[in-house]
Homo-oligomer: A and B are copies of this chain.
Amino acid sequence: MLDQRAAGPRTPGTATRGETVPTVPPAETAADAVEVIALLERGRTLATPVLRAAVERLAPPMDTVAAYHFGWIDAAGNPAAGDGGKAVRPALAVLSAEVTGAAPETGVPGAVAVELVHNFSLLHDDLMDGDEQRRHRDTVWKVHGPAQAILVGDALFALANEVLLELGTVEAGRATRRLTTATRALIDGQAQDISYEHRDRVSVEECLEMEGNKTGALLASASSIGAVLGGADDRTADTLEKYGYHLGLAFQAVDDLLGIWGDPEATGKQTWSDLRQRKKSLPVVAALAAGGAASERLGELLSADAKSSDFATFSEAEFAARAALIEEAGGRDWTAEEARRQHRIAVEALHAVDMPERVRRQFTALADFVVVRKR
């Protein structure tokens, strides 16, 4: 995998504390927005039929359970419009094929494989974490039981390899190998996430490493897999992975901001969602590492919360107080700056690789989109 040490974490609570940093970093033009919408739409249009055909290969009842998970049917089995998510990964996979001069279609099996791996991990993570809701709907283990969540997750993982390897090319073998490495990182990240839950303190470095595994690795795959299928050399693939990895960290930093200060209408999550889940996300760990009065007071509160039997009945005001302390200690600003910093590293990586100017501009527009999104 990529070495995220190359751009190691800054010390929270120094440079950025006290500054006024907007959550939305790069300027976005209307033309960019139109281009991003078109790219997301293209990825979705090319990948979805192939994804659906792959899922239909599953034996009953796994095909139905998977269709429910993807939002194609409801719990009763009736067709549903489905919220397939933002579809950033398919857009990246399809675009990356064009780096080598190949047609966007060359990236489609890669886009589908990455989506399958992503959804395999969602199915298993939701069960492990006991999460009952995803994308405004009950999770698979809630609706179809734990055994189906395990089994269908396994099946999607196997299907990801199948979709690539049945291409039968040397490039497909390389792509599968890289995707396997990313999947191992994904699993490592989930293992870290679980172990951090039982700990009082998590360092900023540990948090970034976990987020790099859970989010960076698969975005790295998405950003390079089309190019690999198009015959890109290892250096090109590595560089595109670097773009995707840091884009993933920017994405996750924004996600962590939205998890506390996001608009519930837009995110579909509860207010103070990550605080309710006692998640040791970036703003929290950065605030705790910052030192100072607000940081110390926050540490005392969260330690008490961990033992509190009243936590489940906390009021809005109690979460708001914790969010205010995180902000006061500099955790919000630090995370916003971290999103910008990771975004910058990602975009810089694009210049280390030869590609058509249009493709580079579109990669940049997607990176901008990831850090300005509101959901």
Contact = CB atoms under 8 A, between A and B. Distances in A.
B165 A183 contact: no
Interface string A44-88: 000000000000000101100000000000000000000000000
A181 B62 CA distance: 16
Interface of A: 59, 61-62, 120, 124, 127-128, 146-147, 150-151, 153-155, 157-159, 161-162, 165-166, 168, 170, 172-173, 176-177, 180-181, 183-184, 187-188, 190-192, 194-195
Contact of A173 (B146, B150, B151, B172): B172
A125 to B, nearest CB: 9
Contact of A180 (B61, B161, B177): B161
Contact of A59 (B124, B165, B188): B188
B150 A162 contact: no
Contacts of A127: 146, 150
A187 B127 CA distance: 18
Given A162-B184, A165-B176, A170-B170, A59 B191 contact: yes
* Main secondary structure on A side of the interface with B: helix
Q: How many copies does the complex hold?
A: 2
A341 B195 CA distance: 51
A165 B180 contact: yes
A190 B148 CA distance: 10
A195 B161 CA distance: 26
Contacts of A168: 173, 177
A191 B61 contact: yes
Q: Which 6 A-B pairs have the closest CB atoms?
A: A173-B173, A165-B177, A128-B147, A161-B180, A59-B188, A158-B183
Nearest to A128: B147
A168 B124 CA distance: 29
Contacts of A192: 59
A150 B150 contact: yes
Contact of A177 (B61, B147, B166): B166
Given A165-B176, A170-B173, A177-B166, A151 B191 contact: yes
A168 B120 CA distance: 25
Given A158-B184, A158-B187, A151 B61 contact: no
Contacts of A181: 162
A144 B124 CA distance: 16
Given A158-B187, A165-B176, 16 more contacts: A59-B191, A59-B192, A120-B154, A124-B151, A127-B146, A128-B147, A128-B151, A151-B187, A154-B157, A157-B158, A158-B184, A165-B177, A165-B180, A168-B173, A170-B170, A172-B173
